[in-house]
Amino acid sequence: PVEPEFKYVGNMHGNEVLGRELLLQLSEFLCEEYRRGNERITRLIHDTRIHIMPSMNPDGYEVAAKQGPDSNGYLTGRNNANGVDLNRNFPDLNTFMYYSGEISGPNHHIPLPDNWKSQVEPETLAVIQWISSYNFVLSANLHGGAVVANYPYDKSQDQRFRSHRRTVNTPTPDDKLFQKLAKTYSYAHGWMHRGWNCGDYFADGITNGASWYSLSKGMQDFNYLYTNCFEITLELSCNKFPPEEDLERQWMANREALVAFIEEVHQGIKGMVSDENNNGIAGAVISVQGISHDITSGDMGDYFRLLLPGTYTVTASAEGYQPQTVTTTVGPAAPSLVHFQLKQDVVRKPPERKASGTRTNNKALQKKVVPRATRQGTQR
């Protein structure tokens, strides 16, 4: 407990191979530096659970690899073996959020539609089960075709602005935090922060996803709306399938950024939520005043809430317990440790039937508004 879970996912599009190669190299680098006694890497590994998935789309990669870097088409190997773009294949929780937002609905831990498993590919299903099995705090998925750090929301509320030629910024409640996370990578990168790359310009080398172009059913927004995880998308190279002789230069440009971004998981507040007998309370809701996006405690009662430096009023609540509110100050160097011990509420214990009804209504509403999976041909 109180050791955050971090993940990197590469090669979601099979023909975008630099992320795959970088994550394999990062794995080796972390092991080698740990063996050498590198204090920074040793501390990072001791204090963080680092998960690395070099390839989410191995079938698409095989198709692209057969073509090779010289004759590889821009879309050859992008999709999986069934011809599906995996970054357009996650349940569309954005539509539910925007619809329910009109009636003050949630933008966190939105339930999945009842028939979601029949709408996703095997790779998507495996990733959803994976991210549901761990209390991930921070994540990045690695793409190619541009050089920019992209943060949610990816999908615009107004779908009239689907074209990449029309822009509409669509921020999350954690917009300033996401911008800081994206800048951490872009400024640690060799040239991403300069802005001019691949014929495009992005100030500071970052962009809001929907401001670039609107993307539906992407993995980045799904992480934010369904789990506790804050994920950004890293576009790392103009050439989706760079030649072998370019890999060392790309590794040197990304090495510090890959490590620095992992370190970002150690900011904000963290701690335990327990009862009066010091038993951890799973699923307790952690709310921060002024930021309308909650996270929940893990199976052991530990929680992690990424926050920028500042003073915050934080409330922990759980069904059957009296909520507890504290004020805490977050510094720039390390997370603040804030524990909650909740007293059982014997007077106003919420009836289970009401909670069950709420979940059913949410699912029914979502089932009504979430469209069936579609395939699109944009970049990310």
Specify the 3-state DSSP secondary structure of 315: strand
Please answer whether residues 314 and 305 qualify as being in contact, where contact means their C-beta atoms are separated by less than 8 angstroms.
Answer: yes
CA 114 vs CA 89, 227, 365: distances in Å = 16, 17, 11
Number of H helices, E strands in the chain: 10, 16
Among residues 284, 286, 264, 263, the alpha carbon closest in space to that of 274 is found at 284
Which are the catalytic amino acids? 235
CA dihedral angle for residue 13, residue 14, residue 19, residue 22, rounded to 10 degrees? 170
Please answer whether residues 150 and 210 qualify as being in contact, where contact means their C-beta atoms are separated by less than 8 angstroms.
Answer: no
Neighbours of 355 (CB within 10 A): 11
Q: Using CA atoms, how far apart are residues 208 and 153, in angstroms rounded to an integer?
A: 7
Among residues 266, 95, 291, 336, the alpha carbon closest in space to that of 174 is found at 291
Q: Using CA atoms, how far apart are residues 255 and 231, in angstroms rounded to an integer?
A: 19
Q: Using CA atoms, how far apart are residues 187 and 120, in angstroms rounded to an integer?
A: 35
Burial (CB count <10 Å: 0-12, 13-18, 19+), residue 340? buried
The length of the chain in residues reads 380
Q: Using CA atoms, how far apart are residues 58 and 20, in angstroms rounded to an integer?
A: 10
